Chain A
Amino acid sequence: MSRIFITEERIEGGDEGPLAGETVAVKDNISTEGVRTTCGSEMLAEYVPPYDATVVERLKEAGATIVGKTNMDEFGMGSTTETSAFGPAPNPAAEGRVPGGSSGGSAAAVAAGDADLALGTDTGGSVRNPAAFCGVVGIKPTYGLVSRYGLVAYANSLEQIGPLAPTVEGAARLLDVIAGPDERDATTREAPRASERRTGDAREAREEGADSDYASAADGDVEGLSIGIPTELVEGADEGVRETFWDAIADLESEGASYHEVSLPSIEHAVAAYYVIAMSEASSNLARFDGVRYGPATEREGDWNEVFAEVRERGFGEEVKRRVLLGTYALSAGYHEKYYKKAQDARAWVERDFEGAFSEADVLASPTMPVPPFEVGESLEDPLQMYLSDANTVPVNLANLPAISVPAGETDGLPVGVQLIGPAFGERRIIRAGSALE
């Protein structure tokens, strides 16, 4: 049985605040005080956090009503929301297809109208991918813009909490509520004022300094906008996806934007680098699940290591075990130089490539996913193929950049998303460009 929510429990919002009267669904890896938070895992099936994540505190302060905790790939590991221990999530926009992952429940909640807005998390595309598959808007913020305090970590150096909504303006309004420094997360920081930035025209100099008013940027004005299109992220896409993408670019052109093609040679190594880094961080982060402070009870007699290994056998699903083991392998003696260190080099190369591209373009554009939504069950048999489907989204996480996925139309009746990537803290720019596609 497929399900959008793992836990449906209502936390009524206040009468005042920017989100008063609106409902928000929260991905189930974001801690909610007193409400079960499972991460889509047997390991945390009964876990009830004793505190709120910072983003949840901010939702409450903004008057939002939280309607439940959404289904997700276990610990965020998957691209289809089929690895959840609580069954898959449906795709309200394409029956019989997956909603994308790992924030598939959050995207589905918005697409189905079960919530006005939703929070997801994006480690390698997990907000943008399900947004594209479900025909809604999703934003992956610049690394450090949104606090990760209270987010159950999968890969710290890559993941950000991000908003999902039916419209660009809606997603931007939710971002306004959750963005900003948090003393409990030392990786958060103020968006630098535009005068300190190397890129940006006079309009942005006025606007990117006016921090955290993202919603007002959704004005559809792309006059003079320069769009770079990384050929590597378009060539490999399905024909129908490519056609829809180029139609969207033509729309932006007719509204006053211009485009040119750019090449990012590092991109072909991004997927491998992403998975080595994410799996390595996962192997370390998930070491905390030892069944002592939380987790299923065990009957087994034995020493610490034996009981620890047994709890993890029972508590973790196949994809989680696969990533924890591969991460352990990549960090183990003899392989660290070969995999982990090389992945860090690739990450630095990707960052540098993007920097070069942004010296000649305001935003970069590509299809969000190179393919339309998979059929249910299609990708589970071949993990490598599933990993490769994230090719267009993972480079953004490696370079700590912001990106938005906006619905661009359909191919054979299936949703296609366009991704717009900005320079660090260039959220207003991608929100403005994205709103021109609506």
Chain B
Amino acid sequence: MSDQSVDAEEVRHVAALARVDLDEAEVEAFSEQFGEILDAFETLDEVPEIEREDDLENVMRVDEVRESLGQEEALRNAPETEDGYFKGPSVS
């Protein structure tokens, strides 16, 4: 059974951080499921610290102008545009 319960308030808090509205039924379902899923993730506590031998290297290319989408094409899927710009809700 779940050691780590997640209450409705926490689910609402995470949903607010993720910018996803939830209805009450979803909040209830997720509160029940998240405890169980996070419990399963707890097994990661047994994982030893592993030294990585990654030989990572940056992949760079010259910063040059290339062909790109035109303004009309870039705006084609937007629900609302104005004068060649995307139109979004007010920021505050």
Which A residues contact B (CB, under 8 angstroms)? 46-48, 50-51, 183, 186-187, 266, 268-269, 271-273, 275-276, 283, 287, 290-298, 302-310, 312-313, 316, 318, 321-322, 324-326, 328-330, 332, 338-339, 342-343, 345-346, 348-349, 352, 383-384, 387-388
B50 touches A322 (CB 8 A): no
A384 touches B47 (CB 8 A): no
Q: Is B83 an interface residue (CB 8 A)?
A: no
A321 touches B14 (CB 8 A): no
Bound together, the chains give a CA A293 to CA B92 distance in angstroms of: 19
Partner of A348, one of B38, B50, B92: B50
Contact A326/B34 with A292-B86, A303-B89 known, Cβ cut-off 8 Å: yes
Q: Is B21 an interface residue (CB 8 A)?
A: yes
Contact A384/B33 with A313-B22, A325-B14 known, Cβ cut-off 8 Å: yes
Bound together, the chains give a CA A346 to CA B91 distance in angstroms of: 40
Bound together, the chains give a CA A324 to CA B38 distance in angstroms of: 14
Contact A313/B40 with A297-B80, A304-B90, A345-B49 known, Cβ cut-off 8 Å: no
Give the top 5 A-B pairs by smallest Cβ distance, nearest first: A297-B79, A313-B21, A294-B77, A342-B44, A307-B89
- Central interface residue in A305, A342, A343, A349, by most chain B CB within 10 Å: A342
| Chain B 48-79 interface mask (CB, 8 Å, partner A; 1/0) | 11111000000101000000010001101111
Partner of A304, one of B22, B38, B91: B91
Which B residues contact A (CB, under 8 angstroms)? 11, 14-23, 26, 29-30, 33-34, 36-38, 40-41, 43-52, 59, 61, 69, 73-74, 76-80, 86-92
How many whole Å from A348's CB to the nearest CB in chain B?
4
B26 touches A269 (CB 8 A): no
Bound together, the chains give a CA A5 to CA B75 distance in angstroms of: 27
Bound together, the chains give a CA A303 to CA B89 distance in angstroms of: 6
B19 touches A312 (CB 8 A): yes
User: Contacts A308-B89, A345-B49, A349-B48 given; 17 further ones with Cβ under 8 A?
Assistant: A187-B59, A268-B43, A269-B47, A276-B41, A292-B78, A293-B78, A297-B80, A298-B79, A303-B90, A305-B19, A313-B23, A326-B37, A338-B45, A339-B41, A342-B45, A346-B44, A346-B50
Bound together, the chains give a CA A309 to CA B86 distance in angstroms of: 18
Residues of B within 8 A of A290 (CB): 19, 88
Residues of B within 8 A of A346 (CB): 44, 47, 50
Contact A269/B36 with A297-B80, A328-B18 known, Cβ cut-off 8 Å: no
How many whole Å from B85's CB to the nearest CB in chain A?
10
Partner of B19, one of A46, A293, A302, A309: A309
Bound together, the chains give a CA A276 to CA B50 distance in angstroms of: 17
How many whole Å from A299's CB to the nearest CB in chain B?
11
